[in-house]
């Protein structure tokens, strides 16, 4: 049946979720390979800065990927507010009995570190290798890949699709839901005349939600704006962009004084069908790409990767291709995936609405969070750790 080059696990995509899945599989002793279409790079051209939850920090630490450098940028409190309307809430680490809520990390720094760790842990990683098709057999799958125009094959008992959702059709998988939000996220680094603390801000404004993440002397920001306006905003000279940002955010973080590394990302929610027959699982953005409003996408994807490794750890390697393995993973992830997806899409809808009845409800909701500490604790802990059933 299988050739000698059959791995226990082949991960398609060396994004952050694919890397974490591969490192976790390697840590539990499974032979693992990773395919990545991009070349190996020492610089990653990405402008995103992420809010990583305390649970994501624990996952990265258990895999020896955490760098103590990142601990300079903790989030201990998050202020959530609705510009021009009543209601505001502050969530702090002590509300949920954790040392920190999370940390602020540059996407490119994290990805470089993860890919370096793949090489240090001797996980077979093929760069510039694009998976083009998957052929399923009883106890393994054969993946065809294209490396610099040359075709070759690799076999795996379990194929983990962590490709960000770019090539689902090669596994015969479909999207069950796609929402184009008509918004782009403008990201960048901004400074102000008041020094950032350990407080992150989620501010809902008429032009779209703004997240400000403290990183030492500066903030990273994510500003969700209508796609029709993002090109103009991005091209504006610094002073005009700063004015527009100040007008949208207000002055609770002082006067904004400089901005750099502006970029935009178009925003869509995409939910994929989870396969139920054996041999293939999908994780991370390939499984669900969410609106970044609640900063949940990567945090959820890392929980996918970690839970998958836990399922594989309790499965004999010759059974990895079985339907049971995939179904155990689906069962383990069902509630977290559903709850986090509903939360991100619901929050986006709630705070995009201009209906006065909705404005009142969300003001009460923010107020209620502060008045009912137990509700706050349950909601925030579930967002950090996923539901504990
Ligand atoms: C503006 C913005 C802000 C965000 N902020 C946060 C935040 O604060 N917190 C948070 O948790 N999340 C956040 N997110 C979401 C987060 O960035 C994503 O959820 C996360 O990057 C997804 O990682 P991934 O590894 O699943 O997918 P990706 O990062 O898309 O990686 C997929 C990889 O697969 C490779 N690939 C694709 N097709 C193939 C193929 N056929 N063969 C081989 N390789 C292939 C790609 O080259 C890529 O390297 C944000 C997103 C945006 C847009």
* H-type alpha helices, the chain: 16-27, 54-62, 107-120, 227-235, 238-249, 297-313, 323-352, 356-371, 373-385
48 lines ligand 1 (CB under 6 A): yes
- Asked if 293 and 209 touch (Cβ cutoff 8 Å), the reply is yes
Other CB atoms within a 10 A radius of the CB of residue 108 amount to 16
Ligand 1 atom closest to the Cα of residue 17 is: 25
CA 243 / ligand 1 centre spacing (Å): 31
The pLDDT value given to residue 371? 58
The two three-digit tokens of residue 25, written as one number = 């599989």
200 lines ligand 1 (CB under 6 A): no
Rounded alpha-carbon distances, angstroms, from residue 38 to 18, 26, 42, 294? 13, 22, 12, 28
Q: Residue whose CA is closest, atom 48 of ligand 1?
A: 15
Ligand 1 atom closest to the Cα of residue 51 is: 8
CA 251 / ligand 1 centre spacing (Å): 32
CA 2 / ligand 1 centre spacing (Å): 32
Q: Which of these, 144, 155, 200, lies nearest to 32 by C-alpha position?
A: 155
Rounded alpha-carbon distances, angstroms, from residue 174 to 177, 273, 277, 286? 9, 6, 14, 11
| Residue 137, φ and ψ in degrees, nearest 5 | -120, 180
- Rounded distance between C-alpha atoms, residue 348 and residue 158, angstroms: 35
Strands 6-12 and 32-36: what pairing? parallel
CA 284 / ligand 1 centre spacing (Å): 8
271 lines ligand 1 (CB under 6 A): no
CA 305 / ligand 1 centre spacing (Å): 13
- Please give the chain's pLDDT, 389 residues, in tens: 444 479 999 999 999 999 999 999 999 999 999 999 999 988 899 999 999 999 999 999 999 999 888 888 999 999 988 776 666 788 899 988 999 999 999 999 999 999 999 999 999 999 999 999 999 999 999 999 999 889 999 999 999 999 999 888 888 888 888 988 889 999 999 999 999 999 999 888 877 889 999 999 999 999 999 999 999 999 999 999 999 999 999 999 999 999 999 999 999 999 998 888 899 999 999 999 998 878 899 999 999 999 999 999 999 999 999 999 999 999 999 999 998 988 887 777 666 656 555 555 555 565 555 656 666 677 777 777 877 65
- Rounded distance between C-alpha atoms, residue 344 and residue 217, angstroms: 29
CA 45 / ligand 1 centre spacing (Å): 13
Ligand 1 atom closest to the Cα of residue 301 is: 26
Q: Residue whose CA is closest, atom 30 of ligand 1?
A: 164
- Asked if 211 and 200 touch (Cβ cutoff 8 Å), the reply is yes
CA 349, chain centre distance (Å):
20
Q: Cα–Cα–Cα angle for 145, 147, 148, nearest 5°? A: 145
The pLDDT value given to residue 3? 47
Pocket perturbation via mutation, ligand 1, pick of 16, 65, 127, 164 by most ligand atoms within 8 A of CB: 164
Give the DSSP letter string of 126-158.
Answer: EETEEEEEEEE-SS-EEEEEEETTEEEEEEEEE
211 lines ligand 1 (CB under 6 A): no
311: helix, coil or strand? helix
Q: Which of these, 4, 9, 274, 33, lies nearest to 141 by C-alpha position?
A: 9
131 lines ligand 1 (CB under 6 A): yes
38 lines ligand 1 (CB under 6 A): yes
The pLDDT value given to residue 263? 96
Q: Which of these, 339, 362, 53, lies nearest to 213 by C-alpha position?
A: 53
263: helix, coil or strand? strand
292 lines ligand 1 (CB under 6 A): yes
- Rounded distance between C-alpha atoms, residue 279 and residue 140, angstroms: 7
- Rounded distance between C-alpha atoms, residue 354 and residue 57, angstroms: 36
The pLDDT value given to residue 368? 57
Listed in sequence order, the residues at least 6 apart from 186 whose beta carbon sits closer than 8 Å to its beta carbon are: 221, 222, 223, 224, 225, 230, 233, 234, 262, 263, 264
């Amino acid at each position: 049946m299988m050739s000698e080059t059959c791995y226990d696990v082949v991960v398609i995509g060396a994004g952050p979720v694919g890397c974490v899945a591969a490192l976790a599989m390697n840590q539990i002793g499974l032979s693992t390979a990773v395919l990545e279409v991009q070349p190996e790079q020492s610089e990653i051209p990405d402008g995103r800065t992420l809010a990583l939850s305390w649970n994501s920090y624990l996952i990265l630490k258990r895999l020896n990927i955490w760098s103590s450098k990142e601990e300079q940028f903790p989030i201990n409190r998050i202020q959530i507010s609705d510009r021009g309307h009543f209601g505001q809430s502050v969530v702090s680490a002590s509300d949920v009995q954790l040392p920190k809520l999370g940390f602020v990390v540059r996407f490119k720094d994290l990805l470089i570190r993860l890919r370096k760790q793949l090489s240090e842990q001797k996980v077979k990683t093929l760069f510039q290798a694009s998976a083009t098709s998957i052929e399923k057999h009883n106890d393994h799958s054969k993946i065809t890949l294209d490396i610099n125009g040359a075709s070759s094959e690799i076999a795996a008992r379990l194929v983990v699709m962590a490709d960000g959702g770019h090539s689902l059709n090669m596994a015969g998988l479909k999207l069950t839901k796609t929402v184009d939000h008509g918004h782009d996220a403008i990201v960048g680094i901004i400074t102000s005349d008041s020094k950032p603390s350990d407080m992150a801000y989620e501010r809902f404004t008429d032009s779209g939600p703004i997240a400000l993440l403290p990183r030492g002397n500066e903030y990273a920001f994510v500003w969700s704006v209508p796609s029709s306006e993002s090109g103009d905003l991005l091209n504006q000279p610094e002073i005009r962009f700063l004015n527009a940002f100040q007008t949208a955010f207000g002055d609770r973080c002082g006067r904004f004084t400089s901005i750099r590394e502006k970029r935009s990302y178009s925003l869509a929610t995409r939910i994929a069908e989870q396969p139920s027959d054996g041999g293939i699982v999908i994780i991370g953005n390939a499984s669900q790409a969410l609106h970044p409003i609640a900063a949940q996408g990567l945090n959820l994807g890392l929980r996918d990767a970690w839970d998958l490794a836990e399922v594989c750890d309790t499965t004999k390697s010759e059974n990895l291709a079985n339907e049971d393995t995939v179904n155990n993973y689906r069962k383990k992830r069902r509630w977290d995936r559903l709850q986090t997806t509903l939360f991100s899409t619901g929050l986006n809808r709630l705070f995009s609405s201009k209906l006065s009845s909705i404005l009142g409800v969300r003001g009460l909701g923010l107020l209620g969070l502060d008045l009912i500490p137990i509700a706050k604790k349950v909601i925030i802990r579930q967002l950090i750790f996923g539901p504990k059933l």
